[in-house]
Structure 1
Amino acid sequence: MSWSFSIGSISGIRIRIHLTFALFFIWIGAAFWNEGGMAAMANGLAYILLLFLCVVLHEFGHILTARRFGSQTLDVVLLPIGGVARMKCIPEKPGQELAVALAGPGVNLVIAAVLFILLGSQTIMQDVAQPAKNVSLLSQLAVANIALAVFNLVPAFPMDGGRALRACLSYRMDRAAATKLATRIGHILAFGFGLFGFVSGYPLLMLVALFVFMGASAENNSTQLHQLARRLRVSDAMITQFSTLPVTSRIADAVALLIHSTQHDIPIVDGVGKPIGLLTRARLLRALHDLGADGQVADVMRTDVPTVSDRAELEDALRLMDEENFPAVMVADQRGHLIGMVTLENLDQMLLLARLQPRE
C-alpha cells in the first residue's frame, strides 16, 4: 500500500504503518498533552500502542487461520481505523471463509476474557463507571477489545461480519449472488449509520457509514470482476491499441506521449519489440522532477511488471495484479513480442459493459 512504511516482520509477514496512522499517533499525543501534561500523554500513547497491538493480533487471527487453508498473506497495514491484512487470496469455500472471518473478532474476545479473568469483572465494571481519565489502562483495553469484536461483526463489508454473512449466504447461493446480497445489506446499514449520525450529531459515525458504503461497493466490484474473468482469456480483455517506447528513449519522449494520448502506462521494449519494462505515469512525473527531460526511461521504468501469454486465463492475470499491486500486465505472443496490455482501467470498463448487457 502506498504512503506506508515497514516497521518489521512477524513470521515473514511485513508489518507496515500508514502515514495517516503516524499522524494520528502524533495528534493523539498532542491531545493528551494538552489535557494533562506529560503523564497523560504517556498514558494515552501507551493505551493506543497496546490497542493497536491487539489490532495486529486480530489480523494474525485471520492470517493464521487462512494459512491453514493454503492462503498466504503479503503484509499487514495499520491505519487509524484499524488494520488490513493483504492476502493473496481469500478462501472461497463457505466454511473456510467463515472461519477466517470469525478468527479476528475471536482473538479480541479471548484477549478481553483473559483481562476480565486477571482483573476481575467487578473491578473492570467499577473502573468503566468512573470518568474516563480515572479508568485503568487494562480496564480500558478489556472494554476496547469487546468493542473491536462487536464492531467487526457488523454484517457489512469490509468488516469481518460482512465476510461472515457472505459465507453463510454462499451455502444457499453462488458466491457472486451472495456478495451482491451482502453488499445491499451493507449499503442499508451504512445508510442507517449515516442517518443516525446526522440526526444525533455524531460526525464520526457518518464517516464510518461512508467507509462501510465504499467498502461494500469495492468488495462487490472485485468479486464480480473475478467472476467475469473466470470465463475469459487474456486476449479477450487486453488493450491492443497503445504506444511503446524503445529503451533508449528520454523522459521527454515519454512526456510527449503522455500529453498527446490518454495512455498512462507506457511499455518499454527492446530493439526487437520484446517488453523489458513499464513506465507508469507516477514514475514518469517523479522522474521529470528529479532527472529532468534528458533523463533515461531505462533508469526509472519498472522492471518487475510481469508478462503473460495472450492464451492465459484472465483470472490468473488479475490475480497477479491484485497480489503485487501491479497497475498492468503486459501480454506477449509465443515469440515474446509485445501484443497487448491488461490494465485496471480497461478491466473496470469491461465490468461496466458486462453489467449493461441485457440478461438472457
Structure 2
Amino acid sequence: MSTQTPQRPESPGLRMGRPFGIPVYVSPTWLIVAAFITYTFQPQVAAELPDRETVITYVVAFVFAVFLYVSVLLHELAHCVVARHFGLPVKRITLYLLGGVSEIEREPETPAREFAVAFAGPLLSLVLAGVGFVASDLLPVGTIPHVLVWQLWVSNLIVGVFNLLPGLPLDGGRMLRAGVWKVTRNSGTGTLAAAWFGRGLAVVLVVGPLALALSTGQEPSWSMMLWSVLLASFIWIGASQSLRVARVRARMPQLQARTLARRAIPVTSEVPLAEAMRRARQAEAGAIVVVDHEGSPIAIVSESAVTATPEQRRPWVTVGSLARTLEPSLVLRADLSGEALLDAMRGAPSGEYLLVERGGDIFGVLVTADVNRVFSGV
C-alpha cells in the first residue's frame, strides 16, 4: 500500500537509514503484519519445500515478509526520488501496518508532475515483478531461492496493479486526480473526484469478495475477508481525509488576515482590566494591545485570560498581568493570507497575533479562534 502525505506522527518508529538522504522508519505495527504474513505463508512454503523442517519453512516465510517490505520501500523511494527531482521536499518514509507512506511536504505544482510522482511507485513495482518473473525461470524449482523469488514477483505484481486502482489515497487515485485537474484546471475538483472513487473502491473491496463467495456457494475465506476489511478501512479513511483537505482548501480564499483582524486599542500595562475593557467597548474594539510609554507594542492581552478573570476582580487586575509578551514570531504582516498565513501561525502557536502594516504601524489583532471558525464544519 502506498500513499503520499505530509501529516504523520513526530515519532514514527525505528529509524533504519537514509537512502538518497531520505530518513526511513519502520513502525512497530510492521511486526504485526510480518507475523501475520509469516503465519499465513508458511503452509505454502511447507507444501513447496516438503523435505524441509517446519522451523525452516517459518524462517523462509519470515524472510519473504522482510523482502516484501523491502519491495514496498523501493516503491516509496521511487515516489520520493521523482518528487525531489521536481524540487518537492521529502520529510521521510514510514513502513507500517499496511505498507508505506512517503511524506512529501508540498504538492506538485502541475498535473503532469502530480501524475509522474504518483506513477513512479507502481511502475517500479511492475518492473520488479518483471525482473522477478524472469529470475524465477532461471532458478531450480523446489529450492528456497525459487520459492522466495516466485512469491516476490507475484506480490510486486499485485502491489503495482492494486496501487493503480483509481481512488485516493492509492497512487491510481492521485493519477486520476491529476487527470481531472488537467481537464478542469482545478486541483480541488480532481481531489473530490478521486476521493469519491476511493470511497466507492472501499465498498467494492468489502462487498465484492463476499458477493463472489455467496454466488459460488462457498464460505468466504476469513483471511481474505480480514485483508479486504483492513484495506477497505484504510482506503475509506484516506479518501475521507482527502475530502476534508479539499473542503479546507476551498475555504482558503476566505483566510485573509486583514479581513479577520479585530480592531485593537493600545493601553499601558498598569491600566486596570475593567478600564481597558471600557475603552475597548467605547472604541468598538475586540482586542487590547499593551504598549510602552512611547506607544510601541510590547504584549497582547489574552482573551482566554480575560474571560477567566471574575468580573469583581477586573478593577484590581492590570492588563499587563494578563498579557503575553510580543515575541517577533507573534507579529504578522496584515497582508498575509491563505497557506502563508497558516504556516506563520503554525510556526508560533498562540491565541492572538499582532498584525502590522509593512511600515510597522499596528493594524489590529488576529485571534486564532476567528481563524478556526472559517473552517468550522469541515
**Which bin holds the TM-score, normalised by the shorter protein?**
0.5 to 0.7
Which stretches in structure 1 are left out of the alignment for 5+ residues? 128-132, 243-255, 262-268, 277-304, 356-360
Structure 2 runs not aligned, ≥5 long: 1-7, 47-52, 214-219, 264-285, 288-303, 310-320
Provide closer, same or farther for how the CA distance between residues 331 and 37 of structure 1 changes in structure 2, counting only shifts above 3 A: farther
CA distance in 2, matches of 1:225, 1:307: 25
- 1:13-61 CA-to-partner distances (Å, cap 9, x unmatched) read 1111222123433555577789974312321221111111111111111
Q: Counterpart of 1:13?
A: 22
Q: Is the contact made by 1:13 and 1:74 (CA closer than 8 Å) also made in structure 2?
A: yes
Q: How is 1:134-149 mapped onto 2 (pairs within 5 angstroms)? A: 136-149=147-160
Q: What secondary structure, in the 3-state scheme, does the structure 1 residue paired with 2:18 have?
A: strand
Which of these residues, 328, 332, 338, is aligned with residue 314 of structure 1?
338
**Correspondence for 2:226:** 203
In the alignment, the residues of structure 2 paired with residue 107 and residue 65 of structure 1 have an alpha-carbon distance, to the nearest angstrom, of 12
Q: Distance in 1 between matches of 2:345 and 2:60?
A: 42
Map 1:143-182 to 2 at 5 A.
Answer: 143-173=154-184, 174-182=186-194
2:111 pairs with 88, 94, 117, which one? 94
Structure 1 equivalent of residue 79 of structure 2: 62
Q: Is the 8 A contact 1:239 1:346 kept in 2?
A: no
Root-mean-square deviation over aligned CA pairs = 4.2
Distance 1:215 1:67 in 2: 23
Q: CA deviation at 1:218?
A: 0.9
Q: Residues 232 and 30 (structure 1 numbering): CA distance in 2 closer, same or farther, change over 3 Å? A: same
Q: What amino acid is aligned across from residue 273 of structure 1 in structure 2?
A: T
Query: Following the alignment from structure 2 to structure 1, what is the Cα–Cα distance between the partners of residues 159 and 35?
Result: 22
Q: 1:187/1:67 Cα in 2 relative to 1: closer, same or farther (>3 Å)?
A: same
Whether 1:104 aligns to 2:121 is yes
| Bigger radius of gyration | 2
Identity of aligned residues (%): 24
CA gap of 1:319–1:58, structure 2 versus 1, over 3 A, is: farther
C-alpha separation between the residues in 1 aligned to 2:122 and 2:63?
22
**2:76 touches 2:101 (CA, 8 Å); kept in 1?**
yes
Find 2:95's aligned residue among 50, 75, 78: 78
Amino acid paired to 2:340: D
Whether contact under 8 Å (1:32, 1:44) holds in the other structure is yes
Aligned pair in 2 of structure 1 residues 46, 237: CA closer, same or farther (>3 Å)?
A: farther
Superposed, 1:105-144 pairs within 5 Å as 105-120=122-137, 136-144=147-155
Check whether the contact 1:239–1:342 (CA below 8 A) recurs between aligned residues.
Answer: no
Q: Distance in 1 between the 2:251 and 2:166 partners?
A: 25
Amino acid at match of 2:17: G
How far off is 1:328 after superposition? Answer: 7.5
Q: Say whether 1:217 aligns with 2:240.
A: yes
Could you say which residue in structure 2 is the equivalent of 1:280? none
Q: Contact between 1:275 and 1:330, CA under 8 Å: does it hold in 2?
A: no
Quote the offset at 1:226 in angstroms: 2.6
1:4 paired to 2:12: yes
Alignment CA distance shift 1:238-1:99 (3 Å): farther
| Correspondent of 1:274 among 323, 326, 336 | 326
Measured at CA, do residues 23 and 211 of structure 1 come closer, stay the same or move farther in structure 2, by a change above 3 Å? closer
1:113–1:157 distance in 2 versus 1, CA, 3 Å: same
Amino acid in the other structure paired with 2:200: I
Q: Distance in 1 between matches of 2:201 and 2:111?
A: 23
Question: CA offsets per residue over residues 166-215 of structure 1, 9 Å max, x none?
Answer: 11111211111222122222222222222224544413212322221221
Q: Residue in 2 aligned with 1:290?
A: none
* Counterpart code for 2:69: F
Residue of 249, 252, 277 corresponding to 1:229: 252
TM-score (norm 1): 0.67
